Structure 1
């Protein structure tokens, strides 16, 4: 960002960079595409499953957390790949840790959806 960009100008530029990042994730990251499509497909189910605003934010929020963590994992992988293609223990560890973070976010989302589904079906 250029120095002196504050207020609305900063917001416009930040939004542009964010959209650029989302496009990059869509075109270069298969896992992000899969998770985004699943999130969009589950939106109607969230409307049925959720019994109010708190349920809806739990369902939608858990999906958004997955997408955010996947974006961060992709950023880590890009940085590691930029450093070089040769195997290094720390590079592998960084990628493994990013992957583990995605798995934890998926567990959170899965548990959230299962618990609210169970509540809906079994009261």
Structure 2
């Protein structure tokens, strides 16, 4: 530990990993869309590996699945922050939520286009 009693090195990495796992669990338990996407990922990642005919194809089939999950996590975080600030209707709050949701939609489109191009 350093002079501020904050973990460093491996301890800091371990703490960050624990916080990340807590974040995944929290999102899984509170967000239906994330739960659905996790279960789809559990099915689609092995399928993408199996359907890919080369290492490049496997990566291109699997990475967009994780992209969707990552953007869904960010969307959930933005929604939580906006709701934490105020539950009142506000134009900027709606804008933030809509833009984050649009990011999820775009990631799903990337996923679909990638799978269609590679598999057809």
Q: TM-score, normalised by structure 1?
A: 0.90
Q: CA deviation at 1:59?
A: 1.0
1:82-113 deviation per Cα after TM superposition (whole angstroms, max 9, x unaligned): 01111000000000000000011001011111
Q: What is the match of residue 52 of structure 2?
A: 50
Deviating beyond 6 angstroms after TM superposition, the runs of 4 or more aligned structure 1 residues are none
What is the alpha-carbon distance in structure 1 between the residues aligned to residue 45 and residue 63 of structure 2? 11
Q: 3-state DSSP class of the match of 1:73? A: helix
Aligned counterpart in structure 2 of residue 77 of structure 1, from 73, 79, 90: 79
Q: 3-state DSSP class of the match of 2:70? A: helix
Q: CA deviation at 1:5?
A: 2.0
Q: What is the match of residue 121 of structure 1?
A: none
Q: What is the match of residue 66 of structure 2?
A: 64
Q: TM-score, normalised by structure 2?
A: 0.92
The count of aligned residue pairs is: 117
Q: Give structure 2 stretches of 5+ with no counterpart.
A: none
Q: CA deviation at 1:48?
A: 2.8
Aligned counterpart in structure 1 of residue 91 of structure 2, from 68, 89, 92: 89
Given that residues 45 and 65 in structure 2 are in contact (C-alpha distance below 8 angstroms), is that contact kept between their aligned partners in structure 1? no
Q: Give structure 1 stretches of 5+ with no counterpart.
A: 119-123
